[in-house]
């Protein structure tokens, strides 16, 4: 007698589980479609219609960047070709190009990277300060980086993190305006 009383309940529970599962699956599908549509909508306020800004910067054996400043528009796509035009060995005169967020403490960022030779002289704990960077390049080597400029106007420092180079002036400023 007890068996016949419990069976209907068990059936109802199973059926309810099936209905909930189907409803959840349908909802997930709808949410997925909605997200895709939003992502495809262009954002107008970032001025993403500005043409690609292409910059060529070189570094030499005198520990100098060929360019110590340049300007970009907020949200502009920027392509930087960085080349080490020196002839000295990478181990004693390597160069990189590292663009920092405006919240970074530039001097501390550089100093803390001295111990991270295997990480392009960028301290792992400060990687969050980097907008974009090239690897340390040896003589004749070049690298290209592409990134979206910040939308917030202002100065953004760029540096070479090879020990000693920042201190003698291997640095510059990208201005967003």
Interacting stretch for Zn ion, rule CB under 5 A, among 21-29, 104-112, 147-155, 162-170?
162-170
Q: Burial of 98 by CB count in 10 Å (0-12 exposed, 13-18 middle, 19+ buried)?
A: buried
Q: Is the Cβ of residue 158 or residue 162 nearer to Zn ion in the bound state?
A: 162
CA pseudo-torsion sign 122, 126, 127, 130: negative
For strand 53-59 and strand 69-72, is the pairing parallel, antiparallel, or unpaired? unpaired
The sheet with strand 77-84 has its strands ordered as 53-59, 77-84, 142-148
Indicate the SS3 state at residue 172. Answer: strand
Q: Of 144, 35, 37, 155, nearest to 106 (Cα)?
A: 155
Minimum CB distance to Zn ion, residue 120 (Å): 11
Of residues 100, 104, 160, 174, which one binds Zn ion by CB under 5 A? 160
What's the maximum distance between 2 C-alpha atoms anywhere in the chain?
A: 96
Q: Is the Cβ of residue 49 or residue 87 nearer to Zn ion in the bound state?
A: 87
CA–CA distance, 129 with 134 (Å, rounded to integer): 14
Q: Of 141, 56, 126, 132, nearest to 93 (Cα)?
A: 141
Q: Is the Cβ of residue 104 or residue 149 nearer to Zn ion in the bound state?
A: 104
Interacting stretch for Zn ion, rule CB under 5 A, among 10-18, 101-109, 110-118, 168-176?
168-176
Print the binding letters for residues 56-95 with Zn ion: x by CB under 5 A, - otherwise.
---------------------------------------x
Minimum CB distance to Zn ion, residue 162 (Å): 4
Q: Is the Cβ of residue 77 or residue 116 nearer to Zn ion in the bound state?
A: 116
Q: Radius of gyration of the chain from Cα atoms?
A: 27
Interacting stretch for Zn ion, rule CB under 5 A, among 45-53, 106-114, 116-124, 158-166?
158-166
Closest residue to Zn ion, judged by C-beta, is: 160
171 binds Zn ion (CB under 5 A): no
What residue ranges bind Zn ion (CB under 5 A)?
A: 95, 160, 162, 165, 170
């Amino acid at each position: 007698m007890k068996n016949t009383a419990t069976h209907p309940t068990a059936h109802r529970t199973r059926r309810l589980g099936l209905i909930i599962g189907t409803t959840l699956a349908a909802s997930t599908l709808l949410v997925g479609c909605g997200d895709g549509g939003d992502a495809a909508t262009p954002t107008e306020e970032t001025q993403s219609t500005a043409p690609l800004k292409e910059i060529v910067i070189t570094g030499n054996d005198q520990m100098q960047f060929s360019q110590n400043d340049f300007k970009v528009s907020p949200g502009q796509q920027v392509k930087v070709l960085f080349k080490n035009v020196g002839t000295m060995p990478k181990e004693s005169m390597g160069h990189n190009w590292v663009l920092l967020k405006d919240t970074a403490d530039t001097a501390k960022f550089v100093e803390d990277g001295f111990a991270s030779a295997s990480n392009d002289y960028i301290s792992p704990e400060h990687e969050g300060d980097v907008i974009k960077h090239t690897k340390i390049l040896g003589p004749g080597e070049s690298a290209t980086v592409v990134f979206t400029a910040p939308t917030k106007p202002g100065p953004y420092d760029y540096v070479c993190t090879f020990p000693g180079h920042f201190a003698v002036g291997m640095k510059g400023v990208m201005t967003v305006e």
